[in-house]
């Protein structure tokens, strides 16, 4: 495993749209970098007046450990409690493997480009880069 500083910048950005909140993650979701994501997810999943769909764009995610997975699982539960939907958009191989070996892949709405099936985010009108598109 590379030292944390070798994996590039770590950032969490939030874009609130009329129909969804898009949280874009870059770098790692690990014990050292999970706080910003947790804060963003709390607002999007449980904040009053937030859109019903929360899209977490993980295309630029380099690494996710158990702390990151637990944060995503708590966010999923918060969304469910608040009648919202959480979608993981464009997960890479490392995150897909983590989700698969833990069985969490069965819990999340995944938008996996090239899978041949329209994922939750595609149906929701959100592209893999977090931008919205017109509904078909």
pTM: 0.80
Q: What does the pLDDT look like over 25-70, one tens digit per residue?
A: 999 999 999 999 999 999 999 999 999 999 999 999 999 999 999 9
Give the pLDDT band (50/70/90) at residue 9: confident
Give the pLDDT band (50/70/90) at residue 8: low
Q: How far is CA 129 from the centre of its chain?
A: 12
Q: Is the pLDDT of residue 4 over 60?
A: no
| pLDDT: which is higher, 108 or 4 | 108
Residue 53's pLDDT is what? 98
- The predicted model gives 15-19 an average pLDDT of 94
Q: What does the pLDDT look like over 94-134, one tens digit per residue?
A: 999 999 999 999 999 999 987 654 444 433 444 444 443 33
Residue 119's pLDDT is what? 43
């Amino acid at each position: 495993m590379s030292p944390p500083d070798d994996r590039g910048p770590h950032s969490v950005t939030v874009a609130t749209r009329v129909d969804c909140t898009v949280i874009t993650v870059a770098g790692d979701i690990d014990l050292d970098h999970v706080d910003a994501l947790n804060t963003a997810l709390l607002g999007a999943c449980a904040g009053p007046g937030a859109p019903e769909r929360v899209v977490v764009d993980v295309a630029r995610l380099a690494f996710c450990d158990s702390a990151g997975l637990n944060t995503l699982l708590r966010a999923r539960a918060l969304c469910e409690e608040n009648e919202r939907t959480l979608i993981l958009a464009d997960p890479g191989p490392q995150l897909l493997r983590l989700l698969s070996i833990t069985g969490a892949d069965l819990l999340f709405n995944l938008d996996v480009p090239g899978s041949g099936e329209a994922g939750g985010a595609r149906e929701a009108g959100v592209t893999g880069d977090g931008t919205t598109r017109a509904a078909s």
